[in-house]
Structure 1
Amino acid sequence: MKRVFLLIALLYSSQLLYAQQTVESIRKQATAAAQQQDFSGAIQTLEQGLEQYPDNIDLLKDEAYIAFISRDYQRSIKIGKSLTGRDDADVQSYQILGMAYKAIAAYKDADKMYKAALKKFPKSGVLYSEYGDMYTQYNNKREAINQWEKGIAADPSYSGNYYYACKYYADNNNIFWSNIYGEIFINIETLTKRTTEIKTVLLNNYKGLFNNKANIEELKNNGNDFEKAVASSMLAVMENESGDISPEMITAFRARFLLNWSNTNANNYPYKLFDLQLKLMRDGMFDAYNQWLFGQAINKNKYDNWVYTHDEEMQSFTQYQRNVLFKMPPEQYYGRM
C-alpha cells in the first residue's frame, strides 16, 4: 500500500514538473519572439498557452508586459487590471499596470493603483521608486522625493530610490544628501550605466562642496540631529582646498572626516556607509575605493595609470567588493521623510 501511495505521489510530482516546464517553454518562446520584435507572434504564443493554462499569472504578466513594450497600452491595462484584482497579484503585476498608466499619462488611475499596491506591499522599494517616477512625469517633484524617501526607509537594500533621490538632491543643491544617497547607490549597484552616471554626480558635488560650504553650514545649524552631527564633523576638518580636484584631495578630506566622526558621533548614529569607509581605511583599501569612485570621472588616463601601478591594492579592493554584499540596515534611516 505504501508503494502505491509513493507511486501516486511521484506521478503527481512529475505531472506538476511537466506542467511547470511547459509553461516555462511557452514563456521562453514568447520572449524570444518579442526580442525579435515579433510582438504579435509573442502575444499569439501566450494566448495559446493560456488556453492550456487558463489564468496562469506568469503567462498573463508576460502578455501584459509584451503588450506594453509593443505600445498596445489598452491591452496591457486591461490585463493588468485583471491581474491586480486577483488575490495572488504580486509586485510585478502592479509594476506593469503602472507603466502602462504612465505611458498614456493616466496619472489619477496610476495614483490610485500605487496607493493600493503599497497598502498590499508596504515594504516594496520598487513600487515607491516607480510611484515617485510617476510624480516626476506629473511635474510634482516634491511629492516624488517623498516617495523615494519612503522607499529608502521601507526597503533600504533596493537601489532605485537612492538613485533618484541622489539626482533630485543634486538638482536642488543639497550636496549632503546627494552625496550620501549617491554613494550608497553605487555600493549597491556597482556595475551599471547608472553607476557611472552617479559617480559623475558625486564628483560634481565634491567640487561644489570645496567651493562653497553654505549647504553644510545650513545643516549644522538647522538640520535634524544626524545632519547636524555629520555636518559638524565635515566642517571641523574642511580646509581651504586649492588647485584642480583629484582623487587624492577627496580621499584626504574623507579620511579626516571619518577620523573625526569615529571619535565623536559614530556611536550615537551608527551608519553602514561610514562603517564601510572606516573598514576600507583600516584594511588599506580606502585609496583604491576612492580611485574607483572618482578616478575615471576626473581623468581616465591617470586612473588607468594608478590602477597599473597599484595592481595589488586594486585587486584586493575588487575582490572584497565582489565577495561582500553591501546592505543598509532598516534601522539606520536618518533622512527627511
Structure 2
Amino acid sequence: MRYLIRTIVVCFVCLCATNTAHTQTQDPAILQETAKSLMRQGDYDNALQVLDKALAAKPDNIDILKDKAFTYYLQRDFANAIATGKYIISKPDADVQSYQILGLAYKAIADDKEGDKMYKAALKKFPESGVLYSEYGDLLATGNAPDLAIKQWEKGIEADPNNSSNYYYASKYYAQKGNIIWGLLYGEIFVNIESLSNRTNEIKNILYGGYQKLFSTPAILNIAKQNGTPFEKMIATNLSKLTSQMQYGVSAENLTALRTRFILNWFNSNARQFPCKLFEQQRFFLQQGMFEAYNQWLVGPVADTQQFQQWMQEHAGEAKQFQQFQRSVIFKIPTGQYYMH
C-alpha cells in the first residue's frame, strides 16, 4: 500500500512538473527569446514557427511582430518582411524600430519610391528621431540623391544632436564636396560620440586628409572667410592666423600646437557668441593635460604609425588617463547648439 501511494505521489509530481514545463514553453516571452536564439543561429524557419506560437498566445504583440518581420528580412524573404512591416506600422503603437525594419526591406529591394513615402510618414510621426533621419538620408544617397540626403542628415543633427550616424554621413558628404571645415567639425564630433567602432577609424582618415587639404590649399580658408556663415568665418579667421605652424606638414604634434592656440583664441574672443561643445571638450582636455593624448588618438596612427607607437610607449600614463576618461564619460551635444550653413 505504501509503495502504491508513493508511486501515485511520484506520478502526480511528474505530471505537475510536465504541465508546468508545458505552460512555461507556451509563455510568449520565453517563446520570443527562443526564437531570437534560433535567429542568431540562422535557423529562420524554426524561429518563425516559434514566433507564430508566441503570437497565438499573445496576438498582435508589436514586439513579436517586429521580430517576425526582421526574421523574414534576415531570411531574405523581403516580400513577407514588407507585408509584415506594413501591417506593423498601420498599428497605432508602431514605434521607430517598426519603421526601421520596414526601411531595411525596402532598401534591400531598392524600392526607393515606397521607402521615401514610408520615411516621410515615419518622420511626421517621430520628427525628433535622429536614426530615422540618418536612414532616410542613406536611402536618398544610395538612390543617387546626395544633395537631398544631406538635408535629412542636417535635420537629424539639429533634431537629435547625439545620434552619431548623421554626423558620420554628413562628414563624408562634406569631405567629398570640398567643404572641409564642416567635414572636420562633423567628423570630430562623430568620433567623440562613437569613439570605438570601425566607422571611427574611417572618419579619422577623413579628418587627417581634411587637415592636409586645409593647410595645403589657402583658398579653402579664404573662401570661408568671405562667403561662410558667421560661425564659419570666425573659425576660418582664427585658423588663418595659425597656418604657419603647419608648414612642416600635418602631424599629431603640429596639430596639438595649432589647436592649442586656436582654443585659447576662441575662448578669449568667440566662445560667448558661438558656444560649441566640441571646442569646450578640447579646452577641457587642454586643462586636464590630456590634449596631446587626444590629438595622438585622433590622427596619430594615420599620420605616422611608428611615431604614434613610440609616443604611446613614452607617454603611457597620459595615454591611460585619456583612455580611462574616454571609456567612462559620454560626450553629449546640448540641444539647440546648431549652426545653419
- TM exceeds 0.5? yes
- Is the contact made by 1:247 and 1:294 (CA closer than 8 Å) also made in structure 2? yes
The residue aligned with 1:326 is 331
The residue aligned with 1:15 is none
Given candidates 25, 33, 38, the residue that maps to 2:30 is 25
**How far is the alpha carbon of 1:204 from its aligned partner?**
0.7
The answer to whether structure 1 residue 154 and structure 2 residue 159 are counterparts is: yes
Given candidates 36, 46, 49, the residue that maps to 1:44 is 49
Helix, strand or coil at the partner of 2:241: helix
Q: Encode CA deviations 1:132-190: one digit per residue, 9 max, x unaligned.
A: 00101210000000000000000001000000000111111111001000000000001
The residue aligned with 1:13 is none
Helix, strand or coil at the partner of 1:332: coil
- Structure 1 residue identity aligned to 2:99: Y
The residue aligned with 1:136 is 141
Given candidates 121, 125, 129, the residue that maps to 1:124 is 129
Q: Encode CA deviations 1:271-292: one digit per residue, 9 max, x unaligned.
A: 0000000111111110000001
CA–CA separation in structure 2 for the residues paired with 1:315 and 1:49: 48
Provide closer, same or farther for how the CA distance between residues 214 and 26 of structure 1 changes in structure 2, counting only shifts above 3 A. Answer: farther
CA–CA separation in structure 1 for the residues paired with 2:124 and 2:201: 34
**How far is the alpha carbon of 1:309 from its aligned partner?**
1.1
The residue aligned with 1:4 is none
The residue aligned with 1:254 is 259
Give the unaligned 5+ runs of structure 2.
1-22
Provide closer, same or farther for how the CA distance between residues 78 and 178 of structure 1 changes in structure 2, counting only shifts above 3 A. Answer: same
- Is the contact made by 2:252 and 2:296 (CA closer than 8 Å) also made in structure 1? yes
**How far is the alpha carbon of 1:236 from its aligned partner?**
1.9
**Range with greater deviation from structure 2 (186-195 or 107-116):** 107-116
CA–CA separation in structure 2 for the residues paired with 1:335 and 1:128: 17
Work out the number of aligned pairs and report it. 318
- Is the contact made by 2:28 and 2:57 (CA closer than 8 Å) also made in structure 1? no
Given candidates 195, 214, 220, the residue that maps to 1:215 is 220
The answer to whether structure 1 residue 238 and structure 2 residue 238 are counterparts is: no
Identical residues among aligned pairs (%): 49
The residue aligned with 1:77 is 82
Helix, strand or coil at the partner of 1:239: helix
Helix, strand or coil at the partner of 1:330: coil
The residue aligned with 1:225 is 230
Helix, strand or coil at the partner of 2:175: helix
- Is the contact made by 1:271 and 1:332 (CA closer than 8 Å) also made in structure 2? yes
- Structure 2 residue identity aligned to 1:107: D
CA–CA separation in structure 2 for the residues paired with 1:214 and 1:22: 67
Q: Encode CA deviations 1:179-208: one digit per residue, 9 max, x unaligned.
A: 000000000001000011111110111111
CA–CA separation in structure 2 for the residues paired with 1:277 and 1:331: 20
CA–CA separation in structure 2 for the residues paired with 1:181 and 1:290: 16
- Structure 2 residue identity aligned to 1:29: T
CA–CA separation in structure 1 for the residues paired with 2:71 and 2:143: 25
Helix, strand or coil at the partner of 1:335: coil
Give the unaligned 5+ runs of structure 1.
1-17
The residue aligned with 2:5 is none
**How far is the alpha carbon of 1:301 from its aligned partner?**
2.8
**How far is the alpha carbon of 1:38 from its aligned partner?**
1.4
Given candidates 263, 268, 287, the residue that maps to 1:282 is 287
Larger radius of gyration: 2
Helix, strand or coil at the partner of 1:268: coil
**How far is the alpha carbon of 1:60 from its aligned partner?**
0.5
Provide closer, same or farther for how the CA distance between residues 231 and 22 of structure 1 changes in structure 2, counting only shifts above 3 A. Answer: farther
CA–CA separation in structure 2 for the residues paired with 1:278 and 1:268: 16
**Range with greater deviation from structure 2 (312-321 or 67-76):** 312-321
**How far is the alpha carbon of 1:210 from its aligned partner?**
1.6
Q: Encode CA deviations 1:272-324: one digit per residue, 9 max, x unaligned.
A: 00000011111111000000111111222322221121111112112222222
The answer to whether structure 1 residue 58 and structure 2 residue 63 are counterparts is: yes
- Structure 1 residue identity aligned to 2:279: F
**How far is the alpha carbon of 1:244 from its aligned partner?**
4.5
CA–CA separation in structure 1 for the residues paired with 2:339 and 2:135: 22
CA–CA separation in structure 1 for the residues paired with 2:170 and 2:142: 15
- Structure 2 residue identity aligned to 1:219: A
CA–CA separation in structure 2 for the residues paired with 1:152 and 1:216: 24
